[in-house]
Amino acid sequence: MPFDVSVAGWRVRRAGDAADLAAVRRLRHAAFRAGTGAAAGGAARPDAGAEGGPVSGPVPDAVRGPVPGAGPGSRAGAGGGAGAGPNEPGRPGPGPGRGQELDACPHDPDFEHLMVEAAEDGRCVATFRHRLLGPGDMAGSYCGAAYDLSPLAARGLTALELGRFCVAPGLDDPAPMRLAWGAVAALVTARRPDLLIGCASLPGADPARYGPALSVLAGHVGPEGMRPGRRAAETCDLPPPGAGSPATLPPLLRFYLTLGGWVSDHAVIDRDLGTLHLFCAIEIARIPPARARALAGLAAAAGLGPETGPETGDGSATVDCAPLAAGAGRV
């Protein structure tokens, strides 16, 4: 799907060949190792994104907000790092030649990869991958390998899996992440999915390490009839909902909750990868109107759509962006 936009010294485009994919994988490896990608970050080094990708990391100021049910001082996205999106855990591996290392994933060929580059030198500074799933694709998706997504398929729902959202270590300019999130909003408009989905990961396979965080997430379990069943060999139930602080969660996962996101009623223990992860979903039609407008604003600022998205009669909202600006390419 063609996608090529340049804004204020940054360019977001599709990774179109083997060299682009290698650049993306090098960035992912560096980001995950440095704590600015999927398996990195703060107290809970997350990967929470759609389909599996990092979840710690800078959240755009425009879309930050309190986590539902949290105290008035709680802010989604507070904290450092850079990463993002409903995500899957990943394990970096050595790359070819001159000691370069790449975060290679066997699911990469199933996805389209977007990259944000510095216009002056073509350096890849941010990336994420995405894939549109129809009802018949759920079982074969990244999430479908560990979670039974038949409840979503039975409802005829479509989903956009996001993953491997990360930013280059040491990059202080928020513009690349804003451009990336503007691209996500534009993709939602173009693809019209019902959901964003992914796996939110925590490093370490011991659930006891994350009691407070899991008790917070237990208050955001998805609706019966939609939340996934169990497919993984080893799982654990979430503890009863508690009064823990959202600060125990990775920043991006907190951000997803402000968008109305919900999680599975259990976590998967992946001893091979050394992670604990949960399914995460965001229902597009239930994103709070203020958040939808903020996301659409990021797309507009990138030249990808209007400044606001429409509200529906029941008070819900969609993240809506107009067709891409003339000359900016097409989703």
Q: Is the pLDDT of residue 38 over 50?
A: no
Every domain of the chain and the residues it spans:
4-301
Note the pLDDT of residue 10: 93
**More confident of the two residues 323 and 168:** 168
CA distance 203 to 270: 10
Q: Using CA atoms in the order 62, 90, 237, 76, what is the torsion angle rounded to 10 degrees?
A: -10
0.95 cut: is pTM over it?
no
Q: Residue 101: what are its φ and ψ, rounded to 5°?
A: -120, 140
Q: State the residue for tokens 């999680």.
A: 263
CA distance 30 to 44: 18
Note the pLDDT of residue 37: 58
Q: Is the pLDDT of residue 217 over 70?
A: yes
Q: What is the tens place of the pLDDT at every residue in 138-160?
A: 999 989 999 999 999 999 999 99
DSSP 56-75: -B---GGG--PPTTS-TT--
